[in-house]
Structure 1
Amino acid sequence: MNPSSTRAISTDHTPDWRLQADCRRPGYFGTDHWFPTGTKTRKDREQAADAKAICRECPVALHCATWALRRREEDGIAGGLDADQRRSIRRRVMKEQLSSEQTADVIRAAWAKDAQGPLVDTYLRSTRQGNDGHVWWRGLKSSYTVAGRVFTPRQLAFEVGHGRAPHGQVKSICGEQFCVAYEHLTDGVVHWQREHLATAS
C-alpha cells in the first residue's frame, strides 16, 4: 500500500445495537424512567413494570439484557430485567455454565414471568368470585392499562388463564355476559380448536 495515499481505508463496520433501542428514540421517556428509586411504593413498582414492558417490545432487548449481564450492571432496568433479576440470572449462568443460547432462554423466561405478574395481580385485585364458577369484574371501565399495555377485562382474564395474548375477539361461553372466569372465555384459536374437535368426533 502506498503510505502517502490519502484514500480512506475500507473497514468492516458493525452498527451499534444501542442506536436501534426504543429508549434512544427522540421524544421517548427520559432516562429517569429506567431507574425507579426502589420497589417499596406502588408508584415505583408500576414504573419498573412499565419500563420492563417497553423493554420487552424493543427490537434489541436481548442484546441489551446480555450486555447488562456481562457488564454486571447494578442499577436500573436494562433489557427488560431489573438488577435483582440480572444477579439471579448471572448466578445461574455461572453455576450451570450456560451457553449463550441457554442464557437467552433464561432471559426470555424471566420476561414471560414478568409479563404475567402484573396481569395476575390486577386480575386478583379487580375480580370477585361468584356462584357456579363465574367471576365478576369489579370495575366499570371498559379498558385498563397494565405494565404499558391496554386490555379489556376479558382480554386480561384470558391472558392470565391461557398464558398468551388472545387472537381475535374474546367471548364468554358460559352464558353470563359479564363473566371473566378465564375457563369460560374463548378467542379465535380456542373457538377453532373446539369446533375442530367437535367435527373430528
Structure 2
Amino acid sequence: MSETRAISTDHTPDWRARADCRRIAAPDWWFPKGTIGAKDRAQAADAKAICRECPVAMQCATWALDQRHTDGIFGGLDVGQRRSINRRASKEQYTDAQVADAIRATWATDTRDPLVDIYLNLTIQRDHGHVVWRGRKTSYTVAGRDFTPAQIAFEVGYGREPQGHVKAHCGEPYCVAVEHLTDGAMRWRRDHLAAAA
C-alpha cells in the first residue's frame, strides 16, 4: 500500500492580491500609450495617484525596481522614475531602506503638471476630435507665466513652449485639440516644404 504525503506550501498571501489596481481600473490603465499628449500624461498622473493610496504601493514599487520593468506605472512610479532610482541605487550601493527612502522622496516630489490640470478641468471633448475650451478667461497665469488657452494646450500636448502664435487649423471655434494646433515654427516649416515641392 503506497502512502502519499502532503506537500507543504507557503500560505502567505501574495501582496498583489491586495493591490488596488486589481479592483479599480482595467489593466491597460496602468500602461499609458505615450508620455507627450495631455491624455497620456493625465492618465499616468491619475494612475500614480491611485497607486500611492494603495496599501501595497511600496512592495509594488520595489518589485518593479527589482524586475527593471521598462513600461507602465508600478507603485506610483513611471519608467523614468524607476530608471533614475535604479541608477542611483546601483551607483551608491543603496540598502533596502535607502531604496524605500528614494521611492518615498520621488512620491513626495511628483505632482501633476498644473498646465495638465487646467487643460483637463477646462476642456470638453466634442465630436470629430475637437476639444473645446470652456473657461471664460482668455489668459491664465501659471508659475509666473501667462498663457492663452491655445498655448496651454500646445505646451501640454507637445511638451515644449510654442514658438510664435498658436492657431487651430481645423476651423472649429475655440478648439484646443492638440493635434489641431500649430505654432509659428510649425507653420513656417509647412509653408517652406510646400513651396519647395
TM-score (ref. length: structure 2):
0.56
Partner residue, 2:59:
63
Moved over 4 A (4+): 119-123, 125-129
Residues 68-105 of structure 1: per-residue CA shift (max 9 Å, x gap): 01111001101100001100000000011010011001
- Distance in 1 separating the partners of 2:90 and 2:74: 20
Find the partner of 1:8 among 3, 6, 9.
6
Q: Which runs of 5+ in 2 are unaligned?
A: 123-139, 143-197
- Distance in 1 separating the partners of 2:49 and 2:66: 22
Q: 1:12 to 1:49 in 2, by over 3 A?
A: same
CA contact (8 A) 2:59 2:75 kept: yes
- Distance in 2 separating the partners of 1:12 and 1:31: 27
**1:121 Cα offset (Å):** 6.9
Find the partner of 2:22 among 18, 21, 24.
24
Q: Which runs of 5+ in 1 are unaligned?
A: 130-201
SS in 2 for 1:85: helix
Partner residue, 1:197:
none
1:135-154 matched pairs, under 5 angstroms:
none
1:101 paired with 2:94, answer no
CA RMSD of aligned residues (A): 2.7
- Distance in 2 separating the partners of 1:84 and 1:43: 18
Partner residue, 1:49:
45
- Distance in 2 separating the partners of 1:121 and 1:41: 10
Residues 143-189 of structure 1: per-residue CA shift (max 9 Å, x gap): xxxxxxxxxxxxxxxxxxxxxxxxxxxxxxxxxxxxxxxxxxxxxxx
Residues 95-124 of structure 1: per-residue CA shift (max 9 Å, x gap): 11010011001001111111x34469758x
Q: How many residues align?
A: 123
Identity %: 62
